[in-house]
């Protein structure tokens, strides 16, 4: 695997730390839990989209784009990191936010990621839930082209074979860190949504012949659909890397039992996981992705999915800014 031939622009702080979670491991009675801190990528409070944007923005600049367009849910971390990347690179940025939850309160619609989108100078506009967001982005791009601009359209979550290179590279970074400290990684677990993170990780881990399985905890789609999305993108990513055919269906595993009522809708398990990590490890998860991912990991540990002596790496994909969009979900008793 040689990723150095793909153009990349530095936007974040890498490598992100790989740390043990000793208190959480003790609290749960094993397995040995580690955390890969991709919440600490540095760009506008960090998160997993920064790795993807390093490759996507390099392509945008090569194509002489002057404006980035992307889309996401109202509290999209991807939109916020794209707005920050555009600011840093001197590009304009248009963000389309889809109302996937129906929440109309000021915290959800104005605080958290939305506040930061605007601070970074992005133009934010809203679309109703269920809108055809790729078509909406294309319409916006056509309008900008007609005015003489060169837009670069980034798909939701930055999930295409270019963006996924960021996580193929993260796989290499993680294996190097594990080798340095003599850590045998038995599983990688993380929250999966638009599929680019898991697709890139699987592409990298398979290309490097690591033998390490990845478990994606779904936050939106049912399992069959999520696995099909990840597999298709992982296969396109390895083809883009010049290694077609190396990813097979057995490399892609998702568990979508922790979505609850839907994307962005809090679950009790998520609230408990966010509070537990905050109290035991001083780590902030998020309500939409990493909180549900951790809820899944904790529940699977309770069900004996992992062996006590195994080393599990939880990839923290970021998103804690989204906590400010959900204050009532975490209401702590007065007193």
Ligand X SMILES: *Cc1c(COP(=O)(O)O)cnc(C)c1O
Q: Which of 76, 111, 159, 194 is catalytic?
A: 76
Nearer to ligand X, 144 or 219 (CB): 219
Could you say whether residue 235 binds ligand X (CB under 6 A)?
no
159 catalytic residue (yes or no): no
Among 151, 196, 266, 269, binds ligand X (CB under 6 A): 196
Question: Taking contact as CB under 6 A, which single stretch among the options 7-15, 84-92, 192-200, 231-239 is the one that binds ligand X?
Answer: 192-200
Minimum CB–partner distance for residue 26 and ligand X (Å): 26
Query: Which residue in the set 75, 113, 192, 267 belongs to the binding site for ligand X (CB under 6 A)?
Result: 192
**Cβ at position 227, least distance to ligand X in Å:** 12
157 lies in the site for ligand X, by CB under 6 A: yes
- Give the number of C-alpha atoms closer than 13 A to the C-alpha of residue 15, restricted to the C-beta side: 15
Q: Is 74 in the site for ligand X (CB under 6 A)?
A: no
Span near ligand X by CB under 6 A; candidates 11-19, 55-63, 193-201, 304-312 = 193-201
Among 47, 155, 287, 325, binds ligand X (CB under 6 A): 47
- The torsion angle over the Cα atoms of residues 118, 122, 128 and 133, rounded to 10 degrees, is -150
**For ligand X, the closer CB: 144 or 166:** 166
CA 138, 140, 145, 151 torsion: positive or negative?
negative
| Cα–Cα distance measured from residue 170 to residue 165, given in angstroms and rounded to the nearest whole number | 8
User: Looking at beta carbons only, is 31 or 163 nearer to ligand X?
Assistant: 163
C-alpha 49/C-alpha 311 separation (Å) is 25
Burial 108-134 (b: 16+ CB within 10 A, else e): bbebbbbebbeebebeeeeeeeeeebe
CB of 280 to ligand X, least distance (A): 20
By the rule CB under 6 A, 191 interacts with ligand X? yes
Q: Which two tokens stand for residue 10?
A: 């530095």
Residues between 273 and 292 with contacts to ligand X, criterion CB under 6 A: 286, 289-290
**Nearest one of 230, 213, 217, 219 to 300, comparing CA atoms:** 217
CA 111 to centroid of chain Cα atoms:
20
> Which residues, numbered 244-263, are part of the site for ligand X (CB under 6 A)?
none
* Backbone angles phi and psi of 94, in degrees to 5: -115, 130
Q: Which is nearer to ligand X, 191 or 283 (CB)?
A: 191
Residue carrying the six token digits 């899944």: 296
**b/e per residue 247-265 (b: at least 16 CB within 10 A):** beeebbbbbbebbbeebbb
User: Is residue 94 helix, strand or coil?
Assistant: strand
- What is the strand order of the sheet 92-98 is part of? 123-127, 92-98, 67-73, 151-153
List binders of ligand X among 88-127 (CB under 6 A).
Answer: none
Total residues interacting with ligand X, rule: CB under 6 A: 20
CB of 194 to ligand X, least distance (A): 3
User: Using CA atoms, how far apart are residues 224 and 206, in angstroms rounded to an integer?
Assistant: 21
Q: Note whether 317 binds ligand X by CB under 6 A.
A: yes
Binding residue (CB under 6 A) for ligand X from 44, 50, 77, 255: 77
* Member of 195, 233, 241, 294 binding ligand X (CB under 6 A): 195
- Contacts with ligand X, residue ranges (CB under 6 A): 47-48, 77-78, 157, 159, 191-198, 286, 289-290, 317-319
Residues annotated as catalytic are 76
């Amino acid at each position: 695997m040689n990723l150095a031939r793909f153009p990349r622009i530095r936007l974040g702080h890498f490598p992100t730390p790989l740390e043990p979670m000793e208190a959480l491991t003790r609290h749960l009675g094993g397995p040995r839990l580690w955390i890969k801190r991709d919440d600490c990528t540095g760009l506008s409070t960090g998160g997993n989209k920064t790795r993807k944007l390093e490759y996507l923005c390099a392509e945008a600049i090569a194509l002489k784009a002057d404006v980035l367009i992307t889309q996401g849910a109202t509290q999209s971390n991807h939109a916020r990191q794209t707005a920050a990347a555009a600011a840093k690179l001197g590009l304009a940025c248009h963000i389309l936010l889809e109302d996937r939850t129906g929440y109309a309160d000021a915290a959800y619609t104005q605080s958290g990621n939305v506040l930061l989108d605007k601070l970074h100078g992005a133009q934010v506009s809203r679309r109703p839930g269920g809108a055809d967001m790729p078509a909406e982005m294309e319409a916006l791009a056509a309008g900008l082209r007609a005015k003489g601009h060169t837009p670069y359209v980034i798909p939701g979550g930055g999930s295409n074979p270019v963006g996924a290179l960021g996580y193929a590279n993260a796989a290499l970074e993680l294996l190097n860190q594990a080798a340095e400290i003599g850590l045998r990684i038995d599983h990688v677990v993380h929250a999966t949504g638009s599929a680019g993170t898991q697709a890139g990780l699987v592409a990298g881990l398979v290309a490097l012949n690591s033998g390490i399985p990845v478990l994606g905890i779904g936050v939106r789609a049912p399992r069959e659909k999520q696995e099909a999305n990840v597999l298709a993108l992982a296969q396109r990513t390895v083809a883009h890397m010049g290694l077609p055919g190396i990813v097979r269906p057995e490399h892609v595993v998702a568990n979508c039992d922790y979505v609850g009522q839907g994307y962005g809708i809090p679950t009790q398990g998520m609230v408990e996981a966010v509070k537990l990590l905050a109290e035991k490890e001083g780590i902030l998860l998020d309500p939409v992705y990493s909180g549900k991912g951790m809820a899944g990991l904790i529940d699977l540990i309770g069900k004996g999915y992992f062996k006590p002596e195994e080393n599990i790496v939880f990839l923290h994909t970021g998103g804690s800014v989204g906590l400010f969009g959900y204050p009532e979900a975490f209401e702590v008793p007065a007193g």
